[in-house]
Amino acid sequence: MSRPQQITVLGATGSIGLSTLDVIARHPERYQVFALSGFTRLSELLALCIRHVPQFAVVPEVAAARGLQDGLRAAGLPTRVLVGEEGLCQVASAPEVDAVMAAIVGAAGLRPTLAAVEAGKKILLANKEALVMSGALFMQAVHKSGSVLLPIDSEHNAIFQCMPQDFARGLDKVGVRRILLTASGGPFRQTPMSELAHVSPDQACAHPNWSMGRKISVDSASMMNKGLELIEACWLFDAKPSQVEVVIHPQSVIHSLVDYVDGSVLAQLGNPDMRTPIANALAWPERIDSGVAPLDLFAIARLDFEAPDEQRFPCLRLARQAAQAGNSAPAMLNAANEIAVAAFLDGRVGYLEIASIIEDVLNLEPVVALDDLDAVFTADAKARILAEQWLSRHGR
């Protein structure tokens, strides 16, 4: 029997990281954890190291590394601790590694994910922000290294499963007319508009169907998540923004659909549990048990669909505009959103101000071409500064 595949899990202490480790632990003959990273919850990272015995663990700074190393030594583990972005890039590209789960949230995941791409690893991509920021450069790097890029986002994993194997030839050539990207509509789909100004971070994070990290939960409430996913879908499947239609489907059972020119529409269904796309990508093109319960269609009983309301969800409109503008617009959108969401989670701005901040930032800064990674980070930094300036201008 062949040796188990060596897996690096970036963002191991997060929601996707933990679901990934749950699937991996069900298949010790197939997968072994090579490295884990954490950022804040370091006692949880130690517990994960004790459970999975990785060769490396990565933490943000030296003091945290000392604390973790002491804990590892006390537990008699051989795990070595690395530090910072350099450590993340090292465990993402190490020669022993077969696949990298990119599950750091936000722009912080870009460099380590790209390091894995450049090293030709199999990439399990949860960190959509990395692709949104640097789409053209990211996809060029994928093509150059021959890296296999597998989407973890449930919608993109669903689309991937519904696409023909040779979709990279071009959607027109393989008879795909449209991608139908489903969205739950989040916790505020039916909240009276007059109440939206006063909703709290905890209300925004109380997603009706999915349990996720706080940043993506707020993005789901504002539908910026769907906007980022629209941009993500364009890069992953070489689609034009006009070929991606967002469909609100409150039950989150159909994870997305592909519409073919002959009128066939293929959908992927399943319980809303990220272990399904994670297991799909880990084992692709094979199938393995994920621990997810079988879908009970009789219990679900009905599936509903509605068009998104861009008055209610201005972030979706802003993201579509950024997708159409291309170049630096998606990176700026993403960076402004990260600042605005962090400010909302800290109680510094109201929910409705998230979209206002992003719109102001996008209006203030012209769209420029992004020829290299430095240009991506320059656009990202500019948008962060402009968003911070919005906050100070408004006394936050």
Which residues are near Mg ion by CB under 5 A?
153-155
By CB under 6 A, tell whether 156 contacts ligand NAD.
Answer: no
Give which of ligand NAD, Mg ion, none residue 380 binds (C-beta under 5 to 8 Å, depending on kind).
Answer: none
Which one, 338 or 353, has the nearer CB to ligand NAD?
338
Choose among Mg ion, ligand NAD, none what residue 14 binds, the Cβ cut-off being 5 to 8 Å by kind.
Answer: ligand NAD
Question: Which amino acid, residue 311?
Answer: Q
Under rule CB under 6 A, residue 153 binds ligand NAD: yes
Give the CB-nearest residue to Mg ion.
153
Kindly report the backbone phi and psi dihedral angles of residue 9, in degrees, each rounded to the nearest multiple of 5, phi listed first: -115, 105
**In the complex, what is the shortest distance from the CB of residue 21 to ligand NAD, in angstroms, rounded to a whole number?**
11
* 335 is a contact residue toward ligand NAD (CB under 6 A): no
Minimum CB distance to ligand NAD smaller for 42 or for 248:
42
- Give the nearest distance from C-beta 131 to ligand NAD in angstroms: 10
Cis peptide before 54 (omega within 30 of 0): no
Q: Which is nearer to Mg ion, 36 or 180 (CB)?
A: 180
- The whole-angstrom separation of Cα 197 and Cα 160 is 37
Cα–Cα distance between 192 and 185 in angstroms, integer? 14
Rounded to whole angstroms, the Cα distance separating 98 from 181 reads 30
Which of the stretches 13-21, 113-121, 328-336, 385-393 binds ligand NAD when contact is defined by CB under 6 A? 13-21
Work out how close the CB of 193 gets to ligand NAD at its nearest, in angstroms, rounded to a whole number. 26
Where is 18: in which H helix or E strand?
helix 15-25
CA dihedral 85, 88, 90, 91 (to 10 degrees): 170
- Determine, following the binding rule CB under 6 A, whether residue 11 of this chain makes contact with ligand NAD: yes
Question: Would you count residue 278 as binding ligand NAD (CB under 6 A)?
Answer: no
Which among Mg ion, ligand NAD, none contacts residue 137 (Cβ within 5 to 8 A by kind)? none
* Least CB distance to ligand NAD at residue 159 (A): 13
Burial of residue 27, with CB atoms counted within 10 A of its CB: 0-12 exposed, 13-18 middle, 19 or more buried: middle
Give the C-alpha separation, 237 to 171, whole Å: 8
* Selected range binding ligand NAD among 36-44, 69-77, 138-146, 176-184, rule: CB under 6 A: 36-44
Cβ atoms of 123 and 153 within 8 Å: the answer is no
Q: What is the DSSP string of 47-83?
A: HHHHHH--SEEEESSHHHHHHHHHHHHHTT---EEEE
Should residue 308 be labelled a site residue for ligand NAD when binding is judged by CB under 6 A?
no
Residue 126 interacts with which of ligand NAD, Mg ion, none, CB < 5 to 8 Å by class: ligand NAD
Within positions 198 to 227, which residues make up the interface with ligand NAD, using CB under 6 A? 210, 212-213, 215-216
Q: Residue 360 touches which of ligand NAD, Mg ion, none (CB < 5 to 8 A by kind)?
A: none
b or e along 259-295 (b: 16 or more beta carbons within 10 Å of the residue's beta carbon)?
Answer: bbeeeeebbbebbbbbbbbbbbbbbbeeeeebebeee
Q: Name the site residues for ligand NAD (rule: CB under 6 A).
A: 11-17, 38-40, 103-105, 108, 126-129, 153, 210, 212-213, 215-216, 274
